[in-house]
Amino acid sequence: MTSTNFDPRILKAPHPVPGAPDNWKRFFSINTDAKVIGIQYIATSLLFLLVGGLLAMIVRGELITPEADLVDPTVYNGLYTMHGTVMLFLFLFPVLNGLNNLLIPTMIGAPDMAFPKLNAAAFWLVPVFAVLLMASFFVPGGPAQAGWWSYPPVSIQNPLGHFFNGQQLWLLAVALSGISSIFGAINFVTTIIRMRAPGMGFFKMPLYCWTAWGAQTIQLIGLPALTGGAIMLLFDLSFGTSFFKPEGGGDPVLYQHFFWFYSHPAVYVMVLPVFGIFSEVFTCYSRKPLFGYKFVALASFGIVFLSLIVWAHHMFYTGTPNWMRILFMFTTMTIAVPTGVKVFAWVATLWRGKLRLTTPMLFCLGGLVNFIFAGITGVMLGTVPIDIHVGNTYFVVAHFHYVIFNAIVLGVFAAVYHWFPKFTGHMYYEGLGKLHFALTFIGCTLNWLPLHWAGLLGMPRRVASYDPEFAIWNVIASVGAFLLGVAAIPFILNMVSSWARGPKAPPNPWGAIGLEWLLPSPPPAENFEDDVPTVLNNPYGYGLDQPQVADEAFYVRRAQEA
């Protein structure tokens, strides 16, 4: 080697645009850059996490005493319906699409998504249906009250007779959300299939991309079925058809098939990317290669396939014939196999690793523990005799929230912290992050662990009042819920102050492997532009003499000097 370190390619290296003084303005404009759209998605969805959280805290406030005293029981029905809808369609789906936007192009070395304009359209549908959904609070009769599943006949009642009613706005909002998700899914899948860096075969792809691909495949297959069902429901509600009305020859159970054909896999749409996050975070902070990379990757599609043939386990007690119950019980149990493969792989990755307990690692460890617990109660619920006993009780509510909040949302928080320095260019404050984790973990455990007991004892869900014998579990749960509300404070404080004046982030603060860490923080508009690295190995070569890309030193230096 000569003494000079000069590399002429560095001269024409991209200069990071972010950093201009009024740069924040682009986040409030219609922009087609995936990294801007990603942050728009995440910021919008975190705002709605607060809205949904507020609704949840009113619900828990109501349930702190056995009597229905805080809000009217009708209002209560609207509150939990809107809580569920806001959390799923305005928080979780958008936040994961935001992560997809940030991570997929940077991880596979693409300059942007395959269809940037479609991407922007998908994002800007979110505020549109958010306004529609929020508007339903102000129409006569209030918001939809039929729960997030909107089963007929409850959902096709229109007692006040107004053409525009809460349920109708709800259906329109869900339909628009579906269109937005389909736009997103087409974009993500096309990007992953067609825009990977040279040398990046599918089995050298980061696991986040595998899981996001699987999740978006589910969106493409499942979502149209729900849209079909929602169109039929809308016609029943507003235009006098009788698809789901027995008096006109219709069948209300058919709606349940349409609904669950999508809405069970929808849980996997949310959990699969979190599996990807786990795989990225565990390897990075335990400094070990991912155990069984190929199996973990393929298990994602095992889950995709199985998720499409389990939906009737939500219908064990709605007149489903016995042969169907047995069949769906069997398929439901089988899902534990690919999921178990992943869990074992993570545990084996952590085993004897050199663990660094940073905030994202803590969130992932907490999420994994909770996920294993949720998986066990999930297998219980998939068993016909147990499900018939505890279905429609708080056991289901507790199980569901253990998956959705305690595993998925914790994973989402982990991702937000892990990639925060990369996409904002600033480090977050570790102390506040750990405080956020502690409050969240204690809060979510207090909130949902006791509700398993309440459910096993027979406390029914979706009612504003309950038998006083369940009071103790509900008091603990409500305390936990309010603690989760408190946990939002350090989080918001951390995000806002770190972005505004946090220390400047180096390109690779965690010593992680992956194409996104070879970019400057924050990455320039077109990522690698024309100088895309050639991928040699999968991004989990921690502790191995196995560079991920050819000429890695060049890219590292270019990122540092940008």
Binding site residues, another protein, CB under 8 A: 17-18, 20, 23, 26, 29, 31-33, 36, 111-112, 114-118, 182, 185-187, 189-190, 193-195, 220-225, 227-229, 231-232, 235, 239-243, 248-251, 254, 258, 261, 525-526, 529
Q: Is the dihedral of CA 360, 362, 363, 365 positive or negative?
A: positive
Comparing CB distances to another protein, the nearer of 181 and 377 is 181
- Cβ 234 to another protein, closest distance in Å? 11
Comparing CB distances to another protein, the nearer of 380 and 562 is 562
Strand partners, 166: 143
Assigned token pair, 226 = 């729900």
**132-148 exposure pattern, b = at least 16 Cβ within 10 A, e = fewer:** bbbebeebebbbbbbbb
C-alpha separations of 457 from 66, 67, 452 in Å: 15, 18, 9
Assigned token pair, 146 = 């039929």
- Cβ 287 to another protein, closest distance in Å? 35
Tokens 């109501």 -> residue = 62
- Cβ 490 to another protein, closest distance in Å? 31
Comparing CB distances to another protein, the nearer of 161 and 240 is 240
- Cβ 109 to another protein, closest distance in Å? 12
Comparing CB distances to another protein, the nearer of 186 and 416 is 186
- Listed in sequence order, the residues at least 6 apart from 290 whose beta carbon sits closer than 8 Å to its beta carbon are 207, 279, 282, 283, 296, 345, 349, 538, 540
- Cβ 248 to another protein, closest distance in Å? 5
Comparing CB distances to another protein, the nearer of 245 and 557 is 245
- Listed in sequence order, the residues at least 6 apart from 289 whose beta carbon sits closer than 8 Å to its beta carbon are 283, 349, 540, 541, 542, 543, 544
- Cβ 261 to another protein, closest distance in Å? 8
- Cβ 181 to another protein, closest distance in Å? 10
Comparing CB distances to another protein, the nearer of 112 and 516 is 112
- Cβ 179 to another protein, closest distance in Å? 11
Comparing CB distances to another protein, the nearer of 158 and 383 is 158
Distance of CA 264 to the CA centre of its chain: 14
- Listed in sequence order, the residues at least 6 apart from 391 whose beta carbon sits closer than 8 Å to its beta carbon are 316, 317, 381
Any long-range contacts for 532-536 (C-beta under 8 Å, 24+ apart)? 532/109, 532/197, 532/198, 533/109, 533/197, 534/197, 534/198, 534/199, 535/109, 535/196, 535/197, 535/198, 535/199, 535/200, 535/204, 536/199, 536/204
- Cβ 173 to another protein, closest distance in Å? 18
Comparing CB distances to another protein, the nearer of 115 and 554 is 115
Q: Residue 553 has what DSSP assignment? A: H
Whether the CB-CB separation of 286 and 353 falls below 8 Å is answered with yes
Comparing CB distances to another protein, the nearer of 46 and 195 is 195
Whether the CB-CB separation of 130 and 90 falls below 8 Å is answered with yes
